[in-house]
Structure 1
């Protein structure tokens, strides 16, 4: 095992925010509690910086033990994924595509490709700073095998990921297999939580599609309504896509980086196009948007809609039920 992986195991545990220490529940194993006097006499307390916990095959069970113990205290989850681009593109202008057309493209791409990274950020409440961040590195994608000529990845997308620090050789050698990750996710408390966990994402139809493919261990359903019903089954009703919410915030447009710059939200850790770092930024953008645009009305009306597949998850459930009769 390379020295950088061995060294990663010796890092001190991440610091738990003060609000956790105030609770009556015992903190998760492996998490240090920040003493109440840590900020120093007369100083204003500052949130502790968030460490991105790297998850590989050698420590995946230990890290998921931390997630299982933490999720009751930090039930707000921001999520992002990284994958090798898209290989199937529309035959007509994107503006002319229907939601069903977009889902068909998504389905064909996700069924053909492999997930590279999953980033997860946990927080205690909609207004709380991020408490924990995990970057799960998978091993299933191999650009040497999944070549462009057989339509198994988009080279320009893979080059972009590598230019932002992803070491795909390390992923192949030390990453987690999708087949091993699926049962850990199912037992983590993150999915099938019966409403206990709230999800925050950015332009996340592909992110949820890759996770559903991984959780089911098979290809996606052909119907968009069936897919959205599976999002609801695995991730619940409380799913918020910041890209969809932006459409109701007049002056916001573009990708995550542009929106963060407009809102003057700085990246807390890591680099763009790395899953955990982007999940952290997504969470902080959501908090800032909520404060600026949704403080009075709340965000409830934006629940359960994924950008590009604008069909409410409740409507999708009813449509899927009718189709099954």
Structure 2
């Protein structure tokens, strides 16, 4: 969770993706992360029990944001207040974000090519996470942003992008409702949103993509499909007018081929 969007860049831009990235960069650099939710699961959505009869999801509340000092979008903060976030308590008892970034790196959950990150419309989410990890402003260009993103988060899926292949529309809560996935916890709390993202992704995968994987002609086709649709952020990179391939980014028109229209493999 973050304080919304308060600034728009001015000037001319080569693509919608470039405008979106500069908007993202300006806002992430100016604003402060409020809350982060992390859900860990296997490929079937099974959650960790840590040796108990309960299941666990992690929510981190940060102390940097001050309602009376920092910039924010009024509507965003009102939604967070209505969801139960107490900014006064977070200011005194919240986590130091710089220290959290250090622990995130030492934990081993980033910089790991064997770990897959599941997200929903996550340009800003990754922007704030990268800012916490590198402790400096985001890169000036979208290309440099994707280089950094692929370093810390080698494999990720953005459900908002994958929805193009599912005839699904709307935000996370709407998609979860259509797929009959029940929310646990209040909306606009990062832990609840994180869990809902995981469970909705599993349902989406099983309902829309499993048949394609089973019907794929050969392993080569499946691998090409997988790499084509992994690591695409909605509105950025290949979805915003440029294509990431083999570690570089180039205009989508230069890389157009039929395989890029195949549904993704998981």
TM range (shorter): 0.7 to 0.9
* TM-score (normalizing by structure 2): 0.80
1:99 paired with 2:26, answer no
- Confirm or deny: 8 A CA contact 2:157 2:230 kept in the other structure: yes
* TM-score (normalizing by structure 1): 0.66
| Counterpart mapping for 1:118-197 below 5 A | 118-124=36-42, 126-131=43-48, 132-146=56-70, 152-193=71-112, 195-197=113-115
Matched residues, number: 226
Q: Say which of 241, 255, 263 aligns to 2:171.
A: 255
Distance 1:310 1:318 in 2: 11
Structure 1 pair 316/213, CA: closer, same or farther in 2 (3 Å)? farther
| Counterpart mapping for 1:45-60 below 5 A | none
Higher helix content, 1 or 2: 2
Provide, for residues 110-166 of structure 1, a one-character-per-residue CA deviation record: whole Å limited to 9, x for no partner: 000000011000002x213333310011000001111xxxxx111221111000111
- Confirm or deny: 8 A CA contact 1:164 1:271 kept in the other structure: yes
How far does residue 313 in structure 1 lie from its aligned partner after superposition?
7.7
Give me the CA root mean square deviation. Answer: 2.1
Gapped runs of 5+ residues in structure 1?
1-81, 147-151, 321-325
Query: Which structure's CA Rg is the greater one?
Result: 1
Gapped runs of 5+ residues in structure 2?
49-55, 214-224, 251-266
Secondary structure of the residue aligned to 1:123 is coil
Equivalent residue number for residue 111 of structure 1:
29
- Confirm or deny: 8 A CA contact 2:9 2:22 kept in the other structure: no
| Counterpart mapping for 1:1-325 below 5 A | 82-89=1-8, 98-124=16-42, 126-131=43-48, 132-146=56-70, 152-193=71-112, 195-236=113-154, 238-250=155-167, 252-267=168-183, 269-298=184-213, 300=226, 301-311=228-238, 314-315=244-245, 317-319=247-249
- Confirm or deny: 8 A CA contact 2:36 2:60 kept in the other structure: yes
Distance 1:297 1:188 in 2: 35
